[in-house]
């Protein structure tokens, strides 16, 4: 069964539904099964560098299973190896503060740390693990772009929001005979756009893995209009890129774990369709609606199973590993395998083939 005395827990990177469900599962198992103390680190790695934490009791984690966000707070600007520090002149310089993390970990007497996060958090976790911190990873992200797990928690909840939005856009699009462009998140991976587009019956799905041609989009919406289908729905991933163009970047901020903030492709698509086809177009950007609110039942259960398994791995001293969903089973993999590459949409995966099979365009024909 193993042993645990003092277990740390941290949520890193962007939030998503299911974080609190993992915190609850980790804390309840650690307290109930191992009689351990649980130390919650505040505001992600930023709080770790600054030495901010508090003890989590059973009372702190009760009633949070269905609550969105994270009771611990999080940040996507606190990479300890790439830490932004403001000088007296207001200038930001990037420094390595990883030794402060190690110092706090030792001072707090932790025997292991559960790090809940996506790609950025797992990269940081691997480096900290090589420096001697006993880390177990839990894969979170609405983007679903982590290798070595079939799914990350948070993805299903984002998918639910995006699909519902497309359903709602359908009715207003058909009433007004418009082209509706809906931009979803996902960073460099098209999972949300692909699965929400498929579930919502989008006419065009645009994802970063399949660069699109403007002509192909125009042809599709015009053909639909000529065939009497007087509206079209386009579901576009924020990272989707035209064959002859660049990814649309909203902001570059060196303090972020990933400096680039994507967004804006839907506006460009909407404007170009109106200009080149004369069809009336409206644009909806779902943004952080996909990250807020309650986790779906699937995500609550996945998060709970992940949290329980992570606690077991910590007690068994299986450090440097990340919990992972493989088929229907919760297993564990090396964190370094999970970050070996980004999990992108294969162009011949079943979802892409099925979408093409029912007449959906990916803007490449
Ligand atoms: O990684 C999750 C995610 O929501 C991406 O889909 C998106 O590109 C990014 O985070 C947005 O980050 P922020 O919350 O900093 O705007």
DSSP-assigned states of every residue in 119-165: HHHHHHHHHHHHTT--EEEEEB-TT--BTTSS--BTHHHHHHHHHHH
Ligand 1 near 208 CB (within 6 A)? no
CA distances from 119 to 91, 94, 254 (A): 28, 20, 17
Please give the number of the atom of ligand 1 that sits closest to the Cα of 185: 6
Ligand 1 near 75 CB (within 6 A)? no
What six digits make up the tokens of 184? 């979803």
Best mutation site among 13, 16, 143, 344 for ligand 1 pocket (most ligand atoms within 8 Å of CB): 143
- Report CA dihedral (246, 249, 255, 257) to the nearest 10 degrees: -70
Delineate the domains of the chain, giving CATH numbers in brackets: 6-153+294-338 (3.40.50.450), 158-292+346-357 (3.40.50.460)
Residue (of 174, 213, 204, 182) closest to 360 by Cα position:
204
Looking at 143, 145, 156, 203, which residue is catalytic? 143
Q: What are phi and psi of 260, to 5 degrees?
A: -85, 130
The alpha carbon of 316 and the centre of ligand 1 are apart by a number of angstroms equal to: 34
Give every residue of the chain whose pLDDT is below 70, as ranges.
none
Q: What residues form DSSP beta bridges with 325?
A: 330
Ligand 1 near 260 CB (within 6 A)? no
Please give the number of the atom of ligand 1 that sits closest to the Cα of 238: 8
Q: What pLDDT does 241 receive? A: 98
Instruction: Calculate helix-pair angle for 350-357, 191-200, nearest 10 degrees.
Output: 40
Encode pLDDT of 92-149 as tens digits. 899 999 999 999 999 999 999 999 999 999 999 999 999 999 999 999 999 999 999 9
Contact status, residue 42 vs residue 11, Cβ threshold 8 Å: no
Q: What pLDDT does 255 receive? A: 87
What six digits make up the tokens of 217? 């989009």
Q: What pLDDT does 109 receive? A: 98
Q: What pLDDT does 258 receive? A: 87
- Report CA dihedral (244, 257, 44, 61) to the nearest 10 degrees: 20
Ligand 1 near 16 CB (within 6 A)? no
Q: How far apart are CA 173 and CA 162, in angstroms?
A: 16
Measured at the alpha carbon of residue 82, what is the angle toward residues 81 and 87, in degrees to the nearest 5? 120
Active site residue 299: no
Ligand 1 near 76 CB (within 6 A)? yes
């Amino acid at each position: 069964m193993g042993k645990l005395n003092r277990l740390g827990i941290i949520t890193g990177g962007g939030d998503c539904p299911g974080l609190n469900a993992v915190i609850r599962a980790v804390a309840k198992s650690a307290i109930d099964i191992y009689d351990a103390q649980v130390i919650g680190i505040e505001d992600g790695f930023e709080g770790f560098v600054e030495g901010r934490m508090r003890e989590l009791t059973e009372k702190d984690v009760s009633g949070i299973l269905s609550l969105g966000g994270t009771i611990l707070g999080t940040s996507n600007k606190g990479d300890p190896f790439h830490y932004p520090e403001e000088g007296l002149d207001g200038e930001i310089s990037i420094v390595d503060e990883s030794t402060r993390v190690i110092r706090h970990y030792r001072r707090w007497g932790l025997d292991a740390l559960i790090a809940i996060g996506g790609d950025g958090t797992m990269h940081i976790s691997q480096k900290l693990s090589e420096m001697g911190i006993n880390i177990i990873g839990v894969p979170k992200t609405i983007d679903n772009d982590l290798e070595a797990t079939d799914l990350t928690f948070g993805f299903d909840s984002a998918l639910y929001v995006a699909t519902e939005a497309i359903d709602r856009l359908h009715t207003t699009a058909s009433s007004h005979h418009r082209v509706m462009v809906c931009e979803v998140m996902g960073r460099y991976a098209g999972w949300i756009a692909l699965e929400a587009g498929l579930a919502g019956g989008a006419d065009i799905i645009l994802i970063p893995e399949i660069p699109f041609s403007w002509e192909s989009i125009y042809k599709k919406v015009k053909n639909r209009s000529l065939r009497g289908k007087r509206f079209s729905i386009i579901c576009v991933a924020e990272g989707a890129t035209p064959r002859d163009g660049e990814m649309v970047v909203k902001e570059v901020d060196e303090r972020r774990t990933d400096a680039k903030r994507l967004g804006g492709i839907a506006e460009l698509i909407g404007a170009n369709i109106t200009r080149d086809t004369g069809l009336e177009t409206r644009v909806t950007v779902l943004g952080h609606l996909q990250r807020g609110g309650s986790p779906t039942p699937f995500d609550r259960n996945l998060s709970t199973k992940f949290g329980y398994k992570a606690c077991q791995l910590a007690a068994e001293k299986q450090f440097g590993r990340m919990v992972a969903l493989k088929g229907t089973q919760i297993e564990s993999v090396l964190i370094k395998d999970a970050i070996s590459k980004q999990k992108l949409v294969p162009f011949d995966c079943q979802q892409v083939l099925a979408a093409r099979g029912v007449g959906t365009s990916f803007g490449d024909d």
